[in-house]
Amino acid sequence: MLYVGRATSRTDRRRDGLNFRYSEEQEGIRRSVREFAENEIRPHVMEWDEAQRFPSEILPKLASLGLMGVPFPAEYGGAGLGYAEYTLVIEELARVDGSVAIIVAAHSSLSAGHIYVAGTEEQKRKYLAPLARGEKLGCWSLTEPHAGSDAGGTRTTARLDSDHWILNGAKTFTSNGTYADVCVAMAVTDKAAGKRGISAFIIEKGTPGFRAGKKENKLGLRASDTTEVIFEDCRIPRENCLGEPGQGFVDSLRVLDRGRISIAALALGMAQGAYEASLSYARERRQFGKPIAEFQAIQWKLADMATEIDAARFLTLRAAELADRGCRVTREGSMAKLYAGEMAVRVANEAVQVHGGYGFIKDYPVEKFYRDVKLCTIGEGTSEIQRLVIAREILKSSG
């Protein structure tokens, strides 16, 4: 088994132009993560899902492979790889279990990602490094009961009291909220300044006045943890403001630009899992004296699935490669997330159809993919919001 971080340098990995193939090193990462997911995750997927049990025991194993800090430099405890490799890891985990993939994605691209993007050197050493090494788990709290798509409507407040900030309010739908050691949360520090008056903060587990609230009972991704996060006169040191005061919302948008690429990879992996299950089922299942794969109606479904998955993969990889080159990926990240999310919903739907009645029961993996993929058109900005972002980007540019 490879440790994903022991790789050639970023410069070595760079490819000039498009070659539509993963490098040997990337294929090696894919094989390692696939082997890990098949051996360590697949046997437990339905048990965790049915019990809605957060798979804490898998986290040290993910950490030992370097999978909790894939896109961060080695000096901050990461694997020193890029976003292209990170999306590959998320895809491979999601191919087996979307719950494990979203745990890693929320931890990496949102929580650790925000500290990497906006943190001081001291914050990176203190918080990013243990997160990237997987010694600690992170969560990221932007959404509130009254501020979802309109996250600028945040109501949680942070007030400076000499050398401490005092936070009050409630967040909703925080992935990893119950189990996280480090929470990055957005709060209003200057109401009059609107979105420019929202700041980001780092809160450590165990801080008085900081706790997880209600755990959500979800349609899918049931082994992942989605909770309320509550602040009641929660005092944190002044230096735990992350980024410039008032820049928290703006930085969140930058974090989401990249986070959306990981949701595209999450969708891609689940679609791939549903497609592979359908392909092998279509070859095995016989009706009217022959495998159902010989019926053109089934062949067309498989052809559409394979084509759409490839299209989503190229959009996802393009966004990841641009992110690795340090480009702004607002448009490309949203396009990848929009297309891959909606594609995964279509693919999972057809996967159930290919399985007939067996697709409707829990003995076959497509039943779970069908439930899990829906998150991909909602989390980190709904499909409607992605269209809004893409349209805004298109209209302000030349094309």
Ligand X SMILES: Cc1cc2nc3c(=O)[nH]c(=O)nc-3n(C[C@H](O)[C@H](O)[C@H](O)COP(=O)(O)OP(=O)(O)OC[C@H]3O[C@@H](n4cnc5c(N)ncnc54)[C@H](O)[C@@H]3O)c2cc1C
| Contacting residues toward ligand X, per CB under 6 A | 106, 140-143, 148-149, 173-175, 218, 221, 226, 375, 378-382, 384-385, 388
Minimum distance from residue 43 beta carbon to ligand X (Å): 24
Residue number, 141 or 189, with CB nearest to ligand X? 141
Minimum distance from residue 354 beta carbon to ligand X (Å): 26
Give the three-class secondary structure for 203: strand
Residue number, 79 or 385, with CB nearest to ligand X? 385
Distances (CA, A) of 142 to 259, 273, 335, 337, 345: 13, 30, 22, 19, 25
Minimum distance from residue 302 beta carbon to ligand X (Å): 29
Residue number, 182 or 375, with CB nearest to ligand X? 375
Report d(CA 270, CA 286) in Å as an integer.
Answer: 26
Residue number, 175 or 262, with CB nearest to ligand X? 175
Residue number, 218 or 368, with CB nearest to ligand X? 218
Q: Find, among 125, 133, 75, 117, the residue nearest to 257 by Cα.
A: 117
Check if 350 is active-site: no
Q: Report which secondary-structure segment, H or E, holds 326.
A: none
- Angle, vertex CA 186, rays to CA 181 and CA 189, nearest 5: 130
Residue number, 137 or 302, with CB nearest to ligand X? 137
- Block residue for tokens 């993919």: 369
Locate all alpha helices (DSSP H) within the chain, ordered by sequence: 10-13, 24-36, 45-51, 58-64, 83-96, 98-105, 113-118, 121-123, 129-132, 248-284, 296-324, 330-355, 365-372, 383-396
Minimum distance from residue 273 beta carbon to ligand X (Å): 18
Minimum distance from residue 10 beta carbon to ligand X (Å): 28
Minimum distance from residue 45 beta carbon to ligand X (Å): 17
Q: Find, among 246, 229, 245, 249, the residue nearest to 182 by Cα.
A: 229
Report d(CA 248, CA 105) in Å as an integer.
Answer: 20
Give the three-class secondary structure for 156: coil
Q: Which two tokens stand for residue 301?
A: 């479904």
Point out the catalytic residue in the list 27, 144, 380, 384: 380
Return the active site residues.
380
